[in-house]
Structure 1
Amino acid sequence: MNSEWLTHIQQAVAHGEQSASITAENPTGRRGAGGRESSMLGPGRKGRPCITLPAGETTELARIDGAGSIRHIWMTVTTHTDAVGFVLRDLVLRMYWDGSEIPGVEVPLGDFFCNGNGERALVTSDLVVVAPTGGMNAYFTMPFRDGARITIENQHPVDVEGLFYQVDFLRTADPATVTDLRFHASWRRENPTTIGQDFTILDTVHGQGAFLGTYLNIVALERYWYGEGEVKFFIDGDDQFPTICGTGTEDYFGGAWAFQDQLSADTEPNVLTFSAPYCGYPTHSTRDSSKQAVYATAMAPLHGMYRWHVQDPILFAEDLRVTVQQIGQVGPDIVERSDDVSAVAYWYQNPPATDRTPIASRNLRRPR
């Protein structure tokens, strides 16, 4: 048994922490309150495994009083309806800590789980796992001292049926044992990006904390290789130039040489997707699977990749900004380019962010 894990469990028991879980079968998470609804099989026999999300409304999935930490979230939902739209981009996931009215997390549901552009992809990583068929798991630790709340807003044109979910958390008797750092996640998109201007993954945040990771989604709007752009971390007052500067987009996400198997000059290179504990490139697609296309199914190439800074934390004491260049390569030349780029930034900070820009409207989020 992992000794680190066992040490944590011993500390949790010593602090009087208690395990709890919120699902459609136990929406309050109270002791002894789960599985009471009736089905055709009788009382307590899978009576309420899922819920419907009414169009245009915000549904509260979880409300937790007191102190503790969320340790795991699992969800699955239908990705297609008869209405035009992309369910995974049309549902907005929000999380609130310690009674704040400003969400610490505000991200399209699919993108939060590294499934961008309304498309499913299998992900096998340390912090996010998306399993067949559309089982979305997040293992971020999300602490709170004075309550937590999770909501989903349905901006899809019609009701979305069949949202299954589970929020696993620990209740803590002593709020003093909870860290001051709060979990955050935000989503940004530019379509198209501006030539010569770096894409902002995380706009400047103030406080102290740690950057946890990036999910980057690129729809290539120009020909040839898109990923020469360097990822930059501007830490604690960095102005024009960053403290940490990578060497290329695929390099930052753990890959190399354009994620391709360069066989020979006469052979089409194979694009090699992969999914590993701390980095991955799970999405490469040139065919539409959204069921929105009526005639043609070919489309601009989709690329999705993630990186978790678990073993290599990015720490900041005053402020942090994260960007990536939009640079490609044509022959021997590197060139500025313009693509459809979106990203999720995941980080912890204290004090919690209070100057968040609201998420873009559904029309500006939808895949084009």
Structure 2
Amino acid sequence: MIRKIWCTLPVNKVVFLRNIILRIFWDGQDIPSVEVPIGDFFGIAHGRQKRMVTPFVGMQDARGLNCMIPMPFRKEVRITLENDSDQDVPMFFYQIDFTLGDQLEDNAGYFHAQFRRSNPCPIRQDYIVLDDVCGKGVYLGTVLGIRNLYSSHLEEWWGEGEVKFYIDEDNKSPTICGTGLEDYIGSGWGTDETVTPYQGAPLLDQERGLYSLYRFHSFDPIYFEKRIKVTVQQLGSGQRSWAKEFYGEKGGYYKAAGCAEDDDICLFERNDDYSSVAYWYQTLPTTPFPGLPDRKERLEGLRT
């Protein structure tokens, strides 16, 4: 069983954090069960490094990248790192701690992690964090990156959308439907920059419109028997007059909590740049992942 993965590389290099790709292959599979840019895998979106420490992944002092998620295997494991940037990495150090001969339960699942990005995510469409996963398992957590594309009003709030889990036979309506994105990460009425063991928002860069959030389902596990799909609704709040200038009638415009029907403060549909990492365990075989976004797609809009 893999017990810990640690690494460090030159700090504040977006080109490396988004273009060094971590892949893990379990028990002779030809397709990876983990395929994620290294920065996103360790918990911070957009190729940034921020202080974040959780029991699962984190960036200690924004420099040491740590993963302590238990990863059982039965026969063999292959871990690769691909430098898909346009530069040589001048220094890269790593350590992988593992044990052999572990007594695993018959139903012990294999760790999986998948990266996605939709830039921009089409308006009135939920962003897909995870889809087409077939097997039996448990959903562990989410790292979510949002780049605010509502460029003229970066102060407007993007976090009203529901996080939805479609489990097994539930296709039309979600099995679990949250009350808003800030609620999913444990806050409410917005969020401040905060890090707790299981949920938080370590990056809120209002000047550049970059936000990184996370939630781990340690005490509220989400089990599935056959399949799972996870999505995030794109919904924000702010001034109706501003939103109509930007989105026109596509914004929808709905009554906000505590406001009158015709109040200028309302909820509205948005389309922002979303990226994510989904972490989960499942039985093998791994369903082939969608194609990893290429270098240009991974970096667009993120270089400083």
Range class of TM-score, shorter chain:
0.7 to 0.9
Which amino acid in the other structure matches residue 296 of structure 2? N
Between the aligned partners of 2:86 and 2:194, the Cα distance in structure 1 is: 34
Tell me which protein shows more strand as a share of its residues.
Answer: 1
Partner of residue 146, structure 1: 75
Between the aligned partners of 1:179 and 1:167, the Cα distance in structure 2 is: 25
Which amino acid in the other structure matches residue 247 of structure 1? T
Q: Is the 8 A contact 1:104 1:352 kept in 2?
A: no
Between the aligned partners of 1:189 and 1:80, the Cα distance in structure 2 is: 21
1:129 corresponds to 2:55: no
Shift of 1:129: 2.4
Q: Is the 8 A contact 1:145 1:178 kept in 2?
A: no
Partner of residue 34, structure 1: none
Q: Is the 8 A contact 2:50 2:62 kept in 1?
A: no
Which amino acid in the other structure matches residue 193 of structure 1? C
Partner of residue 95, structure 2: 166
Partner of residue 305, structure 1: 213
Which amino acid in the other structure matches residue 76 of structure 1? T
Between the aligned partners of 1:206 and 1:316, the Cα distance in structure 2 is: 9
Partner of residue 291, structure 2: 358
Q: Is the 8 A contact 1:128 1:139 kept in 2?
A: yes
Q: How does 1:84-99 map to 2 (within 5 A)?
A: 86-99=15-28
Partner of residue 111, structure 2: 183
Q: Is the 8 A contact 1:182 1:352 kept in 2?
A: no
Partner of residue 283, structure 1: 203
Residues 296-339 of structure 1: per-residue CA shift (max 9 Å, x gap): xxx3x111011000110000011100000000012431100011
Between the aligned partners of 2:298 and 2:204, the Cα distance in structure 1 is: 20
Between the aligned partners of 2:12 and 2:213, the Cα distance in structure 1 is: 23
Partner of residue 193, structure 2: 273
Q: How does 1:216-231 map to 2 (within 5 A)?
A: 216-222=144-150, 223=153, 224-231=156-163
Partner of residue 263, structure 1: none
Partner of residue 225, structure 2: 317
1:199 corresponds to 2:107: no
Partner of residue 335, structure 1: 268
Shift of 1:179: 4.8
Which amino acid in the other structure matches residue 238 of structure 2? V
Residues 55-77 of structure 1: per-residue CA shift (max 9 Å, x gap): xxxxxxxxxxxxxx101111111
Between the aligned partners of 1:121 and 1:233, the Cα distance in structure 2 is: 28
Partner of residue 238, structure 1: 170
Give RMSD over aligned pairs: 1.5
Between the aligned partners of 2:62 and 2:171, the Cα distance in structure 1 is: 45
Partner of residue 281, structure 2: 348
Structure 2-normalised TM-score? 0.86
Between the aligned partners of 1:92 and 1:284, the Cα distance in structure 2 is: 24
Shift of 1:236: 0.8
- Decide which structure has the larger Cα Rg and report it: 1
Shift of 1:353: 1.6
Q: 1:138 to 1:173 in 2, by over 3 A?
A: closer
Between the aligned partners of 1:240 and 1:333, the Cα distance in structure 2 is: 27
Shift of 1:178: 6.5
Q: Is the 8 A contact 1:200 1:324 kept in 2?
A: yes
Shift of 1:115: 1.9
Q: How does 1:246-265 map to 2 (within 5 A)?
A: 246-259=178-191
Q: Which of 1 and 2 has higher RCO (CA within 8 Å, sep 6+)? A: 2
Between the aligned partners of 2:287 and 2:57, the Cα distance in structure 1 is: 26
Give ranges in structure 2 of 5+ residues lacking alignment. 240-264
Shift of 1:358: 2.6
Number of equivalenced pairs: 272
Shift of 1:281: 0.6
Partner of residue 33, structure 2: 104
Structure 1-normalised TM-score? 0.71
Partner of residue 215, structure 1: 143
Between the aligned partners of 1:185 and 1:142, the Cα distance in structure 2 is: 11
Residues 181-214 of structure 1: per-residue CA shift (max 9 Å, x gap): 1100000101011010000000121111000000
Between the aligned partners of 1:351 and 1:183, the Cα distance in structure 2 is: 10
Q: Is the 8 A contact 1:226 1:326 kept in 2?
A: yes
- Once the two structures are overlaid, the 10-residue window that deviates more, 101-110 or 322-331, is 322-331
Between the aligned partners of 2:30 and 2:12, the Cα distance in structure 1 is: 31
- SS at 1:254 equivalent: coil
Residues 111-149 of structure 1: per-residue CA shift (max 9 Å, x gap): 001121111111121211211241010111111111001
Give ranges in structure 1 of 5+ residues lacking alignment. 1-68, 260-271, 288-298
